Structure 1
Amino acid sequence: MDPLEVLRLALAEASSATPEPGEEYNAARAAPSAALDAVIDYLRAMGLERAALLHLLAALDDANNGRSNPILTKAPYDPKRPRMATKLRMELPTVSAAITILVRECGKPLDEAIKKASKAIRVGPGKLANFYDELNKDRYDKAVLDQYKFMLNFRDRYPEIGPAECAELILENAKSLR
């Protein structure tokens, strides 16, 4: 079978991986570990370098077995470092770009645009409204602001796409991050 097809099937299977009975405390790592293992197998089949990923897989295995590993050791607290989860740091500015397009170019009321966007990523509209307000005051770090601007520029890169369709595409992109 084609190695890429094997990888695709393994990743599909990995997305529903569950821990062994009695190891429910490892539930959060079961699917990522299985997916990483599938990628490593693919790289092996293709004759590509995989050492760094093997180290990460070993670190996950250490965590599963109650051992510490420096790869997974939490960095010391720094009040200047963003406290928002990485996933939200991608999703929130992405849907915020859609909100901006819906309001500025489609004439939708802000609260309606926020409700639509909040459904796309399953975040409460209040939380999203607060984020959007702070974002428009430039109160986030460069990475968050860059993600927002990048998604807003999507509209400029594809002028043949209407604003409503562009906003929908951006929301679909945000859903795919889930």
Structure 2
Amino acid sequence: MKFDNLIFVEEAMRFPEVVKLVRDASERIWYKVNDVTSFEHTCYRNIGIALVNENVRSVGGIATRIIARAEKWHIKNRGAEPLESIQSLAGLDEEGCEQPFEIKDVLANVESTVIDSQSVNEKIAFLAEGDSRKEFVLRHWTNGGYNDKELSNVLANVFGGKSSSHRRFIQRFRIECQKRLANAV
């Protein structure tokens, strides 16, 4: 990249509205061009040239005009090549044989997720024994919350009482759950 271009890019990027306009435009056309960075560089460079060489009344106006022109040029001249087929995405394995492109079906294993959540809910009901505070702690644990201090503060806000007594309850309850689950297996 030429040094003069960096000066023009720097001049254009001094204005937050220019950066926002270029970012919005690149998000709008990212799938239509092969290289969005080239588009952004063209925009910043051309806007910087206009700001340095011309008497500009409205930075936003000149930037909008230059960005629109750059969008059209990049889409026409450097547009993304259309994908012919899924077979064209196939690659080669280590031995040089054609490896077909496989699309993973993320919704294919929905049943196991539902079954897993049902078994978790059954375990929570088994361990909570109808106690809302125990159920709250178990739900917090299943969502990845293992910080006893944070949980005890939340319990103090929700159920009342001191957080230190809730912390002791959490510690005792953890040991109780470990014993009950070990015996259940």
Q: Which has the larger radius of gyration?
A: 2
TM-score norm. by structure 2 comes to 0.21
Greater relative contact order (Cα 8 A, min sep 6): structure 1 or 2? Answer: 1
